[in-house]
Structure 1
Amino acid sequence: MLTIGMLGGMSWESSAEYYRLANVLVRERLGGLHSAKVVLHSVDFAEIERMQVEGRWDDAGKALAEAATSLQAGGADFLVLCTNTMHKVFDEIQAAVGIPMIHLGDTTADAIKKAGLTTVGLLGTGFTMDQPFYRERLESHGLTVLLPSTEDRETVHRIIYDELCLGVVRDESRRAYQDVIARFEGAEGVILGCTEIELLLTQDDVPLPVFPTTRLHVEAAVERAILPDNRGTPTQSSR
């Protein structure tokens, strides 16, 4: 089994779900007492969040690249960045290490295409929804990505940072997200494009197919980790 390097802490609430899911999925696949081989580097999210707000993306990229090198030194065979938003600096992190990374946007797009859908609504942080880095990655797979209104984007972002990242899950906020989803016109499915949203919404809460990015990312990581022949180490994404 290969060792998964998890670059997390953004927030630790969702990183804990990454770790839990990886172990659950390995046990389901291999049985018995099997668990995932994981190296985790968890950053102080307050420092990264300050860089986000101040637009210091280069500094954030350098900080996460340094963390990624520690995961490689710790024995990780490949990396997953446990946050959608910080995929904005994915290329900078990948360039700093000699092991491949699994891009969260690619695993999500693969699942959407496998489901036979082409047009999806995107929920995420304001950074993920407002900036092109994530949407364009999805669109490079031939998808059409719909965004909420400006007011709805503000609501979605606020609930993520003021509640979900702090472990607060409120029925009122779930209903607010359901209202946002109901206002998507033409969406065939919905991307839960922030790793914390899965703490609030499940498929049972949404009439459209949902694509939970955390679970999809972990599923892809576990699939690579348990390759029957470790010489099949995953290669770096060409994108």
Structure 2
Amino acid sequence: MRKLGIIGGMSWISTRAYYERINRFVQKRAAPMASPPLLIESLDYGPIAAAKNEGDWNTIAAALVESGRRLEAAGAEGLLIAANAMHKVYDRLTEGVSIPVLHIADCVGKEMQEADCTSAALLGTRFVMAESFYRQRLVAHGVDLLPPDPADVEMVDGIIYKELMLGRVTRDAERALKTIVTLKEKEGAKAIVLASTELELVFDTDANILPVFDSTDIHCRAAADWILG
């Protein structure tokens, strides 16, 4: 098996999910008692969050590049970022290391293309929902995305950063997401792209009126595929 480096800590909830799921996916396919060789660097999210709030993505990119280089020096043969929004600095990371980096949106787009899903609504942080760095990767795989609604963007972003990443899980958040999904179906969406690991805390992927493409699950399966070669 190839050794994978994981840049985590953004948030620790997401990193925990990545570790568990990659292990489960590999365990299903590898020899009994096998577990994947993983190197994980869990960054302090405090300085990264402060830089994000100031729009200082150069500082964030530098932190991820340094992390990627440390993991590469420690023996990682490939990398992934265990967070959707941090893929905003993906290109800077790939320029700073000499090993491949699995892009989460490319993995999601490929799976949607294979499922012949051509219309969807994207749910995640403000950066993921409204900016082009994530959306363009899905569009490149033939997916037509509903335009972001500013009210939805603010609501979902607030649920993630002001509640879920602080350990608050509420029924109000669950109801708000169900309402958004219902409206997206009426607007013509044929699926939901769940582009935030934290949203799974208040989003039942198996009990929705639309098919759900869970970015974390998809990214972890792609990681297991890569590890197993």
Instruction: Settle same-fold status: TM greater than 0.5.
Output: yes
DSSP 3-state at the match of 1:59? helix
Q: Which stretch of the first structure deviates more once superposed, 8-17 or 200-209? A: 200-209
Where does 1:125-164 land on structure 2 (aligned, <5 Å)? Answer: 125-164=125-164
Q: Which stretch of the first structure deviates more once superposed, 199-208 or 70-79? A: 199-208
Question: What are the Cα deviations for residues 34-60 of structure 1, in whole angstroms up to 9, with x where unaligned?
Answer: 112110011111111111111111111
Residue equivalent to 2:103:
103
Give the drift of 1:73.
1.0
Give the drift of 1:31.
4.4
Question: What are the Cα deviations for residues 63-88 of structure 1, in whole angstroms up to 9, with x where unaligned?
Answer: 11001101101111100111111111
Q: 2:196 aligns with which of 194, 197, 204?
A: 194
Residue equivalent to 1:232:
none
- TM-score using structure 2 length: 0.95
Q: Which stretch of the first structure deviates more once superposed, 192-201 or 84-93? A: 192-201
Alpha carbons 1:13, 1:167 under 8 Å: kept: no
Output the CA distance in 2 between the equivalents of 1:107 and 1:201: 21
DSSP 3-state at the match of 2:206? helix
Give the drift of 1:188.
0.7
**Identity score, percent:** 38
1:24 paired with 2:50, answer no
Q: Which stretch of the first structure deviates more once superposed, 160-169 or 125-134? A: 160-169
Output the CA distance in 2 between the equivalents of 1:41 and 1:183: 39
Alpha carbons 2:8, 2:40 under 8 Å: kept: yes
Give the drift of 1:148.
4.3
Give the drift of 1:4.
1.1
Unaligned runs of 5+ in 2: none
Q: CA RMSD in A?
A: 1.2
Q: Which amino acid aligns with 2:132?
A: P
Q: Which amino acid aligns with 1:212?
A: D
Unaligned runs of 5+ in 1: 228-239
Where does 1:162-201 land on structure 2 (aligned, <5 Å)? Answer: 162-184=162-184, 185-201=187-203
